[in-house]
Every structure is written in C-alpha cells, then in structure tokens.
Amino acid sequence: MLRYALLRLLGAIPTLLLVIVLAFLMVHAAPGGPFDDERVLPTDVAANIQAAYHLDESLPQQFFRYMSGLLRGDLGPSYRYRDYSVSELIGRGFPISLQLGALAMALALIVGVSAGTLAALRQNKLPDRIVMFFAMTGISIPVFVIAPVLVLLFAVKLHWLPAGWSGVTGPAKFILPVITLALPQIAYIARLTRASMIDILGRDFIRTARAQGLGTATIIRVHALKPAMLPVLSYMGPAIAAIVTGSVVVEEVFGIPGLGQFFVRGAGNRDYTLVLGIVIFYATLIVSLNLVVDVLYGALDPRVRRR
C-alpha cells in the first residue's frame, strides 16, 4: 500500500510542475502589466518600480526567480494589495472557501447517494424517473445560471434568504451559496450511485443475502453500499475540482470574501503573483485530494493496487 501511495505521489509532481509553467506563461502573456492603470509616472519612477518587483528582467529570469521563492514556500508579494503577501491573502480567504466547499460536498454526498439509492430501488418507476429528471436538469444548468436564479427566487421574490454576505450574520448566509455549488454535484453523484447500485443489487451475494431473509435496509447498509460507492469515490477528485472552480463564480455573485474574489480581482488588476499563487495553491490542493482519493480507492479495492 505504501509503494502504491508513493508511486501516485511521484506521478503528481510532473503535473504540478506543468501547471506552474503553464500558469506562469499565460499570466505573463496577458496584455498590460500590474501598474498600467496607475496615473502616468515619470520614466525614472516607473523604472524603479519595475526593478523593485524584478519586472525588468527577462521572462526566464523571472520564472527561475519565482521558482526559487516557491521552493522556499514564498509566493511573493501582491502587486495590488499593498503591504500584503500572497500567502497572507490566501490565508485570509481560504478558510471561508474551504468552509463553503466542505458544506457543498457534504450536502452533495448525502443527497446524491440517498437519491441514487432510492432511484435504484425503484428502478423504472416514478421515484426513479423523478430523480433522473432532476439529475439531468442539474447537470445541464451551469453554476453561473443557478446562482442568479436562486437569488431572484428566494431572496428577491420570497425574501426567505439573504442575497449576499454583506451585513449578514448566522448560518442563513451559507444556504444559497452551498446549494448553488452542490446542485450539479448532487446530480452527478445521484446518477453514479443509481447505476452502481443497480449493478450491485443484481449480484449473486445480494441474492444470497435476500435468501437468508435479510431486509432491504440491512442489505443496502451492510452489503451493497460499500462496493456501490467505489465509482462515487473515484468521482470525488473531479467533483472537488468542479466545486473549487465553481466557487470562484459563486463567491463573486454572493459577495463572499473568499479566494474566488481575490482571484477575480487579481486577474482584473493583472496582479501576477496573486493569480499565480491562487492557481498553484488550488492545483496543489486538487492534486493532493486526488491522491487521497486514489489511495482510498486502492484501500477499498485491492485489485487497483495489484494492477
């Protein structure tokens, strides 16, 4: 098992390096610079600013300087948030984004697995058709459409929930953002659970359990749920990536002071180091969580380790 985990870890390192290189090149390929929208500065002052941030160096020199700092855990200073480093800004925004993403993932797992199991037990009947209808709807509608619709319905029309975080205290401010992030993942997880559960319920060991007089709830809980969750577990990596990327839109729509807002504003302000730092941080997080999912999958299914 340790060898399997180490091999997966070694395979993740080139992926991270490629992400860093591509992100660095794309950020620096964007037109303009971080200080272009400032008032017109004297030539010598502008040159001093460029030299202070090493922007007067060639692109390879800037890259190797950045990598040198990155290996020491230094993501550099923010160009636009004066007196703040990128690490400090990530430290301020990530706990909020993490809380939002964790709640959305927990909701998606609970509702998705329950709905998928119900659909499998009532295959081709009305509950199954209702679950699959809502699953297809959730898959088809993107997050940037779901968020305004929920705000319009529950905040503007019905006045049940707050439309944003500004001046709001208590758990009510989490409800709309969490539901917005969770809905597409609920749809995917419900479909995966349904297909996997139908397959497992048709296996010989399930028929044997039924012949022994075990009830449906016991069969699902004790015998069927664990093997049926393997496809859901393998989907957790892409699901986390989808929630991370979706949170950028959701945080901007609901005015949530998380990493999404820092990323959007950093991209608009051409804050190279902030955008790079957030991209690298998210890439490391996603690769790490995918690694955890792979190891868990290997622990649950020994055939994966043998291959």
CA nearest neighbour of 206 among 180, 224, 193: 224
18-22, 46-50, 119-123: segment of lowest average pLDDT:
46-50
Residues 6+ apart with CB under 8 A from 284: 16
Output the pLDDT for position 39: 58
Dihedral-angle region of residue 8 (phi above 0 means left; psi in -120 to 50 means alpha; beta otherwise): alpha
> Does 36 score more than 80 pLDDT?
no
**Which of 32-36, 184-188, 233-237, 260-264 has the least mean pLDDT?**
32-36
For the segment 178-207, the average pLDDT, to the nearest whole number, is: 90
pTM confidence score: 0.80
pLDDT of residue 299 exceeding 70, the answer is: no
The β-bridge partners of 77 are 85
pLDDT in tens, 131-160: 989 888 888 888 888 888 888 988 888 888
- Which tens digit of pLDDT belongs to each residue from 44-58? 666 666 676 677 778
Most confident of 33-37, 107-111, 271-275: 107-111
pLDDT digits (tens, 9 = 90+) for 173-192: 889 999 999 998 999 999 99
- The reported pLDDT for the residue numbered 117 is 92
Mean pLDDT of the chain: 82
Amino acid at position 165, single letter: W
Please tell me which residue, 294 or 227, carries the higher pLDDT value.
227
Cα→Cα distances 236→106, 172, 181, Å: 11, 27, 14
Question: Which of 1-15, 86-100, 122-136 comes out lowest in average pLDDT?
Answer: 1-15
Lowest-pLDDT choice from 15-29, 125-139, 159-173, 218-232: 159-173
Is the pLDDT assigned to residue 15 strictly greater than 60? yes
Which spans in 122-219 are helix H? 126-140, 143-150, 172-201, 204-211, 216-218
Using the predicted structure, report yes or no on whether residue 201 has a pLDDT greater than 80.
yes
Confidence of residue 250 (pLDDT cuts 50, 70, 90): confident
In the chain the domains, ranked by start, together with CATH numbers, are 92-268 (1.10.3720.10)
Average pLDDT, integer, range 272-279 = 87
Work out the number of other CB atoms within 10 angstroms of the CB of residue 246. Answer: 24
The CA-atom distances, in angstroms, between 289 and each of 30, 99, 282, 296 are 30, 16, 10, 10
Q: Does the pLDDT of residue 211 top 80, yes or no?
A: yes
- In this predicted structure, the answer to whether residue 305 has a pLDDT above a threshold of 60 is no
Q: Tell me the C-alpha distance between 170 and 88, whole Å.
A: 26
**pLDDT tens per residue, range 58-110:** 888 888 888 888 888 888 888 878 778 898 988 988 888 888 888 999 999 99
Q: What is the pLDDT of residue 65?
A: 86
Burial class (CB in 10 A: 0-12, 13-18, 19+), 151: buried
The Cα–Cα gap between 81 and 95 comes to 19
CA dist., res. 260 & res. 256, Å (int) = 8
Category of 77 on φ-ψ map: left (φ > 0), alpha (ψ -120 to 50) or beta: beta
Predicted pLDDT at 116: 92
pLDDT of residue 9: 72
| Selected residue with higher pLDDT from 163 and 298 | 163
